[in-house]
Amino acid sequence: MKNIFIYILLIFMFLFDINVFAKDLLITNAKLVIDSETFRENMQTNTKLPIDYEANIHENISIYRTTYGRKEPIIIFFKDLDIDEIKSELDGLDYKTYDAEGKWVTSGVFAPFSYLGMADIGGEDLTNDIRSPGSLTSVSENASDNFNPSSVFIANNRRHGITHAAISLAAAGNSIFAGTGSIVNLTGKYNSIVKETAFVLVQLGQQGTLNSGGSRAASLLQLRNGLEVANCNINSGRNCENSLIRAISNINNNSALSIYESDHLIPVIRGNIPLVISVERAVDIINVIELKNSFSKLDIILLGASEAWKVADTLAENNIKVMIDPHNNLPTSFETVDSSLKNIIILDEAEVDYAITNLSALGLQGVGTLTQHAGNAVGNGLDWNKSFAAITSTPARWFNIPLINNSLVIWDGDPLNITSTPVRMFINGEEQSLTSRQTLLRDRYNPNTNSDKLHKYR
Amino acid sequence: MPSLNKGFAFTKTFIISGMLMLSACSGPIDRNKTKAFESTYSPNLDTTTLITNAKIIDGTGSNTFKGSICIHQGRIKVISVNQTVNTIKNTTNINCEYTNLIDAKNKYVTPGIIDVHSHLGNYPTPSVSAHNDGNEITSPITSEVYAEHGVWPQDPGFDEALKGGVTTLHILPGSANLFGGRGVTLRNYPSRTVQGMKFPKAPYTLKMACGENPKRVYGDKGGPGSRMGNFAGYRQNWIRAQEYRKNRNSDQRNTSRNLQLETLADVLDGEILVQMHCYRADEMVQILDLAKEFDYKVTAFHHAVEAYKIGDILKENDTCAAMWADWYGFKMESYDGILENIPFVHESGACAMIHSDSGSGIQRLNQEVAKTWAHGNRAGLNIKKEDAWKWLTSNPARALGILDQTGTLEKDKRADIIIWNEDPFSTYARPEKVFLDGQLLFDKQNNIAPKSDFRLGYGAQ
């Protein structure tokens, strides 16, 4: 009986990847990048650190990550201790040691928005699950059900330092509601889904007009209606009829949410998960902010927000978060005519809570360029630490993911500079491979390879 | 109804004169009379500028050196290695009677960037349907169209590209068609007209396309519907072009001018440079054989995501490849993209180039080069920054037939120059000043920058 219990426990641990047998991790001699808040929290567990240590880049740090005796892993930082001193601190513990040799060590990069792992070839519809225009559902479609951890784009992007990503459909069921988004890690394993129900995405602006019948008025109405029905569901025990369904006699699309679909907005109404709203034009942003008058708990994150700088103070006053691409500066449409490289600078000055995306380069594979986009925000005047936080700790905080506890990357230079790249990566305490389909092609065709073999035998 | 009558009269005259022109064609076509839409670009050459103390990457592959550049009448009059230039007095020994002195201490100076593949102007922003002027998607054979006729000089993208250091750009028709039409090389000069931007005497180019696009666009519109059909389409039209070329030079025959075949015949005469959209390695090599069959040259492959697989063959054929640093995977023929494509092609001895194909990417082409250069060296290559710089300026100039004019900082060349605040191989580097033929068109500190008509009345700076 006891053996069977252990057997079941082993299966359980295998399924849920509890690394009871994984050793703890010690990285020595690091140039550590971490936000002050996290640093303070973690150093309190270690009396060896001075309490006023607040700078964001910390030299000569050793990082100890342990799961020993805990449900959640924690990390401990040691400042200016040599390896022997640290070893005596960790006496009796089982760990692997990696010398960072003074290189940059950071948490993994967290892509705050992506379509990662949901398509093989964008241009081949059957391989592409990013949109589901023919489906009859919308909010309830969960991005995690589309996610393929074996997609070559996972390893190809891991190589760029990305350890975590928010994933979402771009459009579900020809509705403004593009489904429920998830958080994944980039281990490439079957248990990559870190958080299945992480946010709901709504498309407003031009894209929203396409999916709501043709106008902004229609798409805003559908958003308000969906939220009202969900709210009513909460208050009336799901006895609510959808007012929009009642209002339109012939429903030939799913522009009005069914009770089932609107139920999936309940965690949004309660503020338990963010409502991500894709919107660009300043006045559209103001209309979105007004939603908070009726639904005060909404945790709104704007996606795109090219003209956010024009309403920066209003965003700050209403605690609206934004995800923006600091590369966007062209009037690509009439709703982005006031795109500007100053967007992020002005939002920062107004103390708006922002994350950086690389929307303009996303495609399927593009999340790897996130560090370049953050680097360019710095080139345009943003503080380095703030920019780095906007692709790491900020999205991690928004989606409540303990990023630094679960991912560490060693870089060969400043991670925001274009010539730098990760040399080692750890997710959940385990070292990750930086080999990918791209590196295999690279190695096969490297012009410096002296091989008489045909390429197909290399 | 006077206006209607007037319109009718105009149409009638037009038709008659057209008929007259046809019947008047006997003997060889006078090539001088087929020239049209000539450049009216006329730079202001008044200022003589001396740039001193700069760290210069000259685009030839020479090591970075500290030196001075004298710009006179829009050309580089003197470029000198000078370790100790600190004062105005010392600089006079390079014989430059400057009206403008720039101390570029701690700054980098490079040639202006040349984007060999851009759709600024013919796919301008805002991207409304009325602005889709880059692809003549009505037939797979449209060698009669000219990209310049679809270019809108008020595209705000030109201004942003200038701020990124782009002084010359090559605007191509899109890739829907086997023969897409003529490309045009432009100075990035703020002008009211396309003619005012045209690079004087730069050769025309011909855009052709391989692979997925033509067969996807025309698969259910009469073909081509496969890669086989693509090649049949190329060959049938090169045969027509050979015949037209023979006839237009002949005294024996009356030959009507045919715009479609004129472009192809000019390629066969070596006057127009072929710029071929092609992703897959095997397909590029088929195209090189096609060129041998009809005795023309493929000057450059564009997009060339798999060029790294055939660097040696590109070298043998003296054909350049224009590539991205890291775009791949959006369609099947781009699935095998690697981050080291450009450095691998370079290492094989072939002519490698960066290109943008994007109004956003064109603003940061130096970063795209830095990125792929670093990946190449990490893979074991040992490419100098100065050699990598060729991917941005000298090799694109070569592929556009304008290397004698621009692309490097050498005596008597056009003074197309960027002053950078720091090493342009860094994400944090920005152009501070951009000169086109010696004209200071962008000056970050002094807020000198062009602003498109379209930007007026909106709030962005």
Query: In this predicted model, what pLDDT tens digit does every residue of A216-262 receive, in sequence order?
Result: 999 999 999 999 989 988 887 666 766 666 665 444 455 678 888 99
Q: So what's the pLDDT on residue A74?
A: 85
Would an 8 Å CB–CB cutoff place B285 in contact with chain A? no
A335 and A388: one domain? Answer: yes
Residues A154, A245 share a domain: yes
Q: What is the rounded average pLDDT for all residues in chain A?
A: 89
CB atoms closer than 10 angstroms to residue B18 = 9
Q: Which of A173, A285, A183, A284 is nearest to A226 (CA)?
A: A173
Residues in chain B: 461
Sign of the CA dihedral A152, A155, A161, A167? positive
Cα–Cα distance measured from residue B416 to residue B263, given in angstroms and rounded to the nearest whole number? 30
For residues B296 and A90, the model is more confident at: B296
Using CA atoms, how far apart are residues B243 and B258, in angstroms rounded to an integer?
Answer: 12
Q: Three-state DSSP class for A324? A: strand
**A42 and A121 both lie in a single domain:** no
Domain count, chain A: 2
Q: State how far the alpha carbon of B323 is from the alpha carbons of A79, A148, B96, in Å.
A: 45, 29, 39
Burial label, B132 (beta-carbon count in 10 A; 0-12, 13-18, 19+): middle
Q: Are residues A213 and A319 in the same domain?
A: yes
| Band (A358; pLDDT cuts 50, 70, 90) | very high
Task: Characterize B250-268 residue by residue with b for buried, 16 or more Cβ atoms within 10 angstroms of its Cβ, and e for exposed.
Answer: eeeeebeebebbbbbbbbb
Residue A379 pLDDT greater than 90, yes or no: yes
Task: Tell me the backbone φ, ψ of residue A119, rounded to 5 degrees.
Answer: -155, 150
Angle at the Cα of B37 from the Cα atoms of B34 and B43, rounded to 5 degrees: 135
Query: Does a structural domain hold residue B62?
Result: no
Supply the DSSP string of A184-221, one letter for each residue: EESS-STT-EEEEEEEEEEE-HHHHHHTTTS-HHHHHH
Contact B339 A438 (CB under 8 A): yes
A350 neighbors A313 (Cβ within 8 angstroms): yes
What's the pLDDT at B4?
A: 38
For residues A96 and A189, membership in a common domain is answered with no
* Long-range contacts of residues B230-239, Cβ cutoff 8 Å, at least 24 apart: B230/B178, B231/B286, B231/B290, B233/B140, B233/B141, B233/B178, B234/B178, B234/B179, B234/B208, B234/B290, B235/B290, B235/B293, B235/B294, B237/B141, B237/B143, B237/B178, B237/B179, B237/B264, B238/B264, B238/B268, B238/B290, B238/B293, B238/B294, B238/B296
Whether B380 and A446 lie within 8 Å, measured CB to CB: yes
Q: Are residues A85 and A154 in the same domain?
A: no
Q: Which member of B332, B426, B460 has the closest CB to residue A338? A: B460
Picking from B425, B334, B216, B368, the residue whose alpha carbon sits closest to that of residue A365 is B334
Residue type, B203: P
Residue reference for tokens 């498109």: B452
Sign of the torsion formed by the C-alpha atoms of B107, B110, B116 and B118:
positive
Q: Least CA distance to A383: which residue of chain B? A: B428
Packing angle of the helix pair B259-268, B227-248 (nearest 10 deg): 90
Q: Are residues A67 and A196 in the same domain?
A: no
Beta strand A171-172 with A407-411: parallel, antiparallel or unpaired?
A: unpaired
The band of A56, judged by pLDDT with boundaries at 50, 70 and 90, is confident
Which pLDDT band, with edges at 50, 70 and 90, does A10 fall under?
very low
Residue A82 shares a structural domain with residue A205: no
Partner residue facing A379 (CB), from B373, B427, B459: B427
pLDDT of residue B403: 98
pLDDT at B251: 82
Q: Return the pLDDT at B13.
A: 37
In three state form, how does the secondary structure of A369-419 look? HHHHHHHHHHHCCCCHHHHHHCCCHHHHHHCCCCHHHHEEEEECCCCCCCC
Kind plus residue range of the DSSP H or E element containing A225: helix A216-236
Q: Which residues of B touch A369 (CB under 8 A)?
A: 326
Q: Which pLDDT value is given to residue B32?
A: 80
Among A120, A442, A443, A455, the residue to mutate for chain B (most B Cβ within 10 A): A442
- Domain with residue A335: its CATH number is 3.20.20.140
Cβ(A54)–Cβ(A62) below 8 Å: no
Are residues A193 and A97 part of one domain? no
Q: What would the pLDDT profile of B128-175 be if each residue is shown by its tens digit? A: 999 999 999 999 999 999 999 999 999 999 999 999 999 999 999 999
Domain final residue, candidates A67, A102, A137 = A102
Contact B43, B71 (CB under 8 A): no
State which residues of chain B have pLDDT below 70. Answer: 1-26, 82-94, 460-461
Which residue range(s) make up the domain with A40? 23-102
Work out the minimum CA distance from B181 to partner chain A, whole angstroms: 25
Write the pLDDT tens digit of every residue in A360-377: 887 767 899 999 999 999
Output the pLDDT for position B76. 97
8 A C-beta contact, residue B344 and residue B325: no
| Residue A170 pLDDT grade (very low, low, confident, very high; cuts 50, 70, 90) | very high
What does the pLDDT read at residue B24? 44
Chain-chain contact of A445 with B309 (C-beta, under 8 angstroms): yes
The gap between the terminal CA atoms of chain B, to the nearest Å, is 48
Beta-sheet strand order (sheet of B205-209)? B113-118, B166-171, B179-187, B205-209, B273-278, B298-303, B320-323, B352-354
A141 and A289, same domain (yes or no): yes
Contact A329 B160 (CB under 8 A): yes
Find out whether B278 and B320 touch, Cβ atoms under 8 Å: no
Average pLDDT over residues A276-299: 97
The phi, psi pair for B305, rounded to 5°, reads: -60, -30
Give the lowest-confidence range in A141-150, A311-320, B30-39: B30-39
Ramachandran class of B140: left when φ > 0, alpha when ψ lies in -120 to 50, beta otherwise: alpha
B378 in contact with chain A, both atoms CB, cutoff 8 A: yes
Judging contacts by C-beta atoms under 8 Å, the chain B residues touching residue A339 are 460
Interchain pair A418, B340: CB under 8 A: no
In a domain, residue B216? The reply is yes
Please indicate if any CB of chain A lies within 8 Å of the CB of B376: no
Looking at CA atoms only, how far is residue A452 from chain B in angstroms? 15
Please answer yes or no on whether B461 and A327 come within 8 Å at the CB atom.
no
Q: Is residue B15 part of a domain?
A: no
In angstroms, what is the C-alpha Rg of chain B?
Answer: 23
For residue A457, the number of C-alpha atoms closer than 13 Å in the C-beta half-sphere is 4
Using DSSP's 3-state secondary structure scheme, residue A248 falls into coil
Note whether B347 contacts A331, CB cutoff 8 Å.
Answer: no
Q: Hey, are the CB atoms on A337 and B460 less than 8 Å from each other?
A: yes
Q: How far apart are CA B210 and CA B279, in angstroms?
A: 8
What secondary structure letter does DSSP report for B334?
G
Question: Which residues in A lie closer than 8 A to residue B329 (C-beta atoms)?
Answer: 121-122, 153, 156, 363-365
Asked whether residue A430 is assigned to any structural domain, the reply reads no
Task: Say if residue A287 is in the same domain as residue A248.
Answer: yes
Report the C-alpha gap between A401 and A418 in whole angstroms: 27
Strand extents, DSSP E, B82-230? 100-103, 108-111, 113-118, 166-171, 179-187, 205-209
Alpha-carbon gap, residue A386 to B179, rounded angstroms: 49
CATH code for the domain of B120: 3.20.20.140
CA distance A418 to chain B (A): 5
C-alpha neighbours within 13 Å on the C-beta side of residue A248: 16
Interchain CB contact of B45 with A (< 8 Å): no
**What is the pairing mode between strands B431-436 and B439-443?**
antiparallel
Q: What is the mean pLDDT of residues A304-330?
A: 98
B338/A441 Cβ within 8 A? yes
CA torsion through residues A439, A445, A448, A454, sign: positive
CA distance A122 to chain B (A): 5
Q: What are the backbone dihedrals phi and psi of residue B442, each rounded to the nearest 5 degrees, phi first?
A: -140, 125
List alpha helices for B224-329, DSSP H.
227-248, 259-268, 281-293, 311-316
Would you call B189 helix, strand, or coil by DSSP? coil
Q: How far apart are CA B225 and CA A392, in angstroms?
A: 47
Cα distances (angstroms) measured from residue B405 to each of A146, A175, B416: 53, 54, 10
How many domains does chain B contain in total? 1
- Residue-level length of chain A: 458
> What is the predicted pLDDT for the residue at B371?
98
pLDDT digits (tens, 9 = 90+) for A433-449: 999 999 999 999 999 99
Distance CA A53, CA A60 (A): 13
What's residue A8's pLDDT?
42
Pick the last residue of a domain from A68, A102, A136.
A102
Q: Does B396 sit behind a cis peptide bond, omega within 30 degrees of 0 on the bond before it?
A: no
State residue B172's pLDDT score: 98
* CB-CB under 8 Å, B156 with A338: no
Ramachandran region, residue A148 (left: φ > 0; alpha: ψ -120 to 50; beta: rest):
beta
- Determine the residue of chain A that is closest to B346 in CA distance: A447
With CB atoms and an 8 Å threshold, state whether A376 touches B337. Answer: no
Q: Is residue A341 part of a domain?
A: yes
- pLDDT at position A22 is 54
A68 by DSSP, 3-state: which?
coil
Looking at the structure, tell me whether residues A296 and A347 fall in a common domain: yes
At A37, the amino acid letter reads E
Which residues constitute the domain of residue B328?
Answer: 112-407
- Number of Cβ within a 10 Å radius of residue A42: 19
